[in-house]
Structure 1
Amino acid sequence: MPRRSATMLAATLLLIAMLCASVLPIMKVPYAEMSPGPTYNTLGQQNGKAVISITGRQTYPTTGHLNMTTVQVTSADYQPSLVSVVIGWLRDDVTVVPHDNLYPNHQSEEEAEQQNAEEFASSQDSAKTAALRELGYKIATNVIVDSVIAGSPSQGKLHAGDVIKAVDDTVITEPDQVAEVVSKLKSGQQVVFTVVPDGKPAGDAKKVTITTVKAPDGNRAMVGIQPGTRNILPFTIDIGLQDVGGPSAGLMFSLGIIDKLKPTDITGGKFIAGTGTISDTGQVGPIGGIAMKTIAARNAGAQYFLTPADNCAEAAKDTPGGLTLVKVKTLDSALKALDAIRAGDTSALPSCTR
């Protein structure tokens, strides 16, 4: 190659390198990061208050740990540089994901926090229900106002948590009945809700008259609420944990409740952590950020990690040393795994494989 051409090529490559060095550190890309968050022992205390407190039933002493795990995520307005993202990809204790995975549809920080709070409250209700059903209690269910649409006819008249006893002359026992009654009306007609305000005794039922409006699809009437359900517990269970959101602590809350209500110390003094959503019937569902949660668990001192079956393959790819993954599909299977751990029969544990 002629010397002049070689010099020009070298100069061009140097210019490109200089441009990359100056541009890449400030070039913003649409990604977010997850990292290991704090863990909380559902059998212990947080800020001087029991994480799980039960009144109206005898409880029993517990030992060991049943830690729920969390992940920390970057804020909605976080804009990392390409260099930061590449560094994150190379780290074992950070997971880089597309921004929309954590904040879909341009969700704001406040909207994400509200959604997480609602999911956390719902998961607590399911955790209590699943635990008590596992222990043989019968659980009844109320139909409630789950949410009220802003600007709708129901705003200021009905409130989230109100128990819906009847709509006009129809006694309500299922959430779908509310829409069935209202959708038969015409826009502008009045409908009477019989409700018990949230937190009030059943005898404080009142009638609320609401004028329907046309639904956005234009084919039916609506009042602007989303009905849901709330389970009726035979005694009081409070979960006093602040600044935590999402549904993934359901399994560990259920186990913590059961441990407090059973004479048997179900951990046998072992340090057990885990994660997983829980349904009212005790089905364990998958969660996000499993790799970061296993790291958080091991950092806290956990020996065993209860892992939703659908997360097992991902969790097994890079399990922290000294942590045994235990595959669980249901609350009952988690309890059987704890029986094996307590008995020292770890060979019987269902394991996670890649």
Structure 2
Amino acid sequence: MSRRALTLLVSGFLVLVLGILGATAKVPYVVLSPGPTENTIGEIEKKPVIAISGRPTYPTSGALSLVTVAYQGGPSSRIDLLTALRGWIDPSVAVVPEETIFPDTRSQKQVEEENTVEMTNSQDYATAAALTELKISYETLVLVASIQKGKPADGKLKDGDKINTVDGRRVTELKTVSDAVRAHKPGETVTFNVTRGAKTLDVTVPTEAGPDGKAIVGVVMQPKYEFPFDVDINVGDVGGPSAGLMFSLGIIDKLTPGQLTGGKDIAGTGTITPAGQVGAIGGIAQKMVGARKSGASVFLTPAENCDEALQAVPDGLRLVKADNLHNAVLALDALRTGKGEVPACGTG
């Protein structure tokens, strides 16, 4: 056999071995890629993404799209080396260590369940934020979500208790409870008035010192909102809290005359608080690519993500900075009318 033929044979064998290894060797990385977009003022499978009943609604136009990130990999379904290599050379894809998405302290199933809970909470927060922006009153209830075992509240308060007052002070938000407890010295008692089933009762709970030396009782709380009409949000198999801003804008658009978008195709992302503050999200680069591919020309960007977004913004996508819901509405008004300032990433 000639030297050339031998070289080709050895090279071919090595390529084959490397190909087999690449296709079979599993690596602890996760591939993040642009996921689907959903128009919050549109429909999924002929059902409105946002359905409002018990309150007049108005026609909408254009799109207010939420954006998502798809992932491959995870502890129970690791990707192969070739998939990771393809991701590393694709600028629209990110390959990140597995523990970034799935910490060692939680299983893949637990992370996915947490994402589902965060999505449900974001829908409630988005509705609360939209109604706050529109100055529509609603009631905030504070419930006991869980009790920390061995802490003072263990055996006294119960999961599902509705906290009405703390030391006689009416409870309207989570902070009311935490402030009232922390106002005590460790060892002092706190009196909770709670509704438990059909009963209303007073429960006295001692306090102890927390890690910072302040008084705690060891209760985890969650808000529950009672809105004056029904807002039902349907997004299918999407998790996480990052669609909050776009849900809020979709609700506002449906509840107010005129079209918030002016017919434009607008996408965006950002968590939302009931007070309307917009928070940072992950996967901004992949979300922008998905938005542009779906036809969006404007992208509402959390202020905290602006620097990162500017490094990867696709051609033809205008970044509009959103630090809170009210300013996002004003920005859309300015885009639609051509009057007023449109805050951009990289300015002010």
> TM-score scaled by structure 2?
0.78
Q: 1:30 to 1:211 in 2, by over 3 A?
A: same
- What is the aligned counterpart of 2:35 among 19, 37, 57? 37
Q: Secondary structure of 2:239's match?
A: coil
Which residues of 2 match residues 128-147 of structure 1 at below 5 A? 128-147=127-146
Indicate if the aligned counterparts of 1:67 and 1:252 stay in contact, CA closer than 8 A: yes
Separation in structure 2 between the aligned mates of residue 338 and residue 327 of structure 1, nearest angstrom: 11
Aligned to 2:222: 228
- What is the aligned counterpart of 1:175 among 169, 174, 177? 177
Indicate if the aligned counterparts of 2:130 and 2:252 stay in contact, CA closer than 8 A: yes
Indicate if the aligned counterparts of 2:125 and 2:272 stay in contact, CA closer than 8 A: yes
Q: Does 1:49 align with 2:51?
A: no
Please report how far the alpha carbon of residue 124 of structure 1 lies from its aligned counterpart in structure 2 after TM superposition. Answer: 1.7
Indicate if the aligned counterparts of 1:185 and 1:220 stay in contact, CA closer than 8 A: no
- What is the aligned counterpart of 1:262 among 256, 259, 270? 256
Q: 1:263 to 1:138 in 2, by over 3 A?
A: same
Q: Secondary structure of 1:339's match?
A: helix
Aligned to 1:244: 238
Deviation per CA, 1:69-112: give whole Å up to 9, x if none: 11112243232333332221101332111111111124212211
Q: 1:58 to 1:223 in 2, by over 3 A?
A: same
Aligned to 1:350: 343
Q: Which consecutive residues of structure 1, in runs of 5 or more, have no partner in the other structure?
A: 1-11, 198-203
Separation in structure 1 between the aligned mates of residue 81 and residue 311 of structure 2, nearest angstrom: 26
Indicate if the aligned counterparts of 2:29 and 2:73 stay in contact, CA closer than 8 A: no
Please report how far the alpha carbon of residue 226 of structure 1 lies from its aligned counterpart in structure 2 after TM superposition. Answer: 0.9
Q: Which amino acid aligns with 2:111?
A: A
Please report how far the alpha carbon of residue 265 of structure 1 lies from its aligned counterpart in structure 2 after TM superposition. Answer: 1.3
Separation in structure 1 between the aligned mates of residue 266 and residue 158 of structure 2, nearest angstrom: 43
Q: 1:63 to 1:196 in 2, by over 3 A?
A: farther
Separation in structure 2 between the aligned mates of residue 15 and residue 47 of structure 1, nearest angstrom: 50
Q: Which amino acid aligns with 2:286?
A: M
Q: Secondary structure of 1:74's match?
A: strand
Please report how far the alpha carbon of residue 257 of structure 1 lies from its aligned counterpart in structure 2 after TM superposition. Answer: 1.0
Aligned to 2:5: none
Separation in structure 1 between the aligned mates of residue 111 and residue 71 of structure 2, nearest angstrom: 11
Aligned to 1:71: 69
Separation in structure 2 between the aligned mates of residue 86 and residue 275 of structure 1, nearest angstrom: 28
Q: Which consecutive residues of structure 2, in runs of 5 or more, have no partner in the other structure?
A: 1-9
Separation in structure 1 between the aligned mates of residue 100 and residue 296 of structure 2, nearest angstrom: 28
Aligned to 1:88: 87
Aligned to 1:7: none
- What is the aligned counterpart of 1:306 among 297, 300, 304? 300
Aligned residue pairs total 331
> TM-score scaled by structure 1?
0.77
Indicate if the aligned counterparts of 1:143 and 1:172 stay in contact, CA closer than 8 A: no
Q: 1:33 to 1:205 in 2, by over 3 A?
A: farther
Separation in structure 2 between the aligned mates of residue 82 and residue 210 of structure 1, nearest angstrom: 58
Aligned to 1:200: none
Aligned to 1:201: none
Please report how far the alpha carbon of residue 221 of structure 1 lies from its aligned counterpart in structure 2 after TM superposition. Answer: 11
Q: 1:110 to 1:18 in 2, by over 3 A?
A: closer
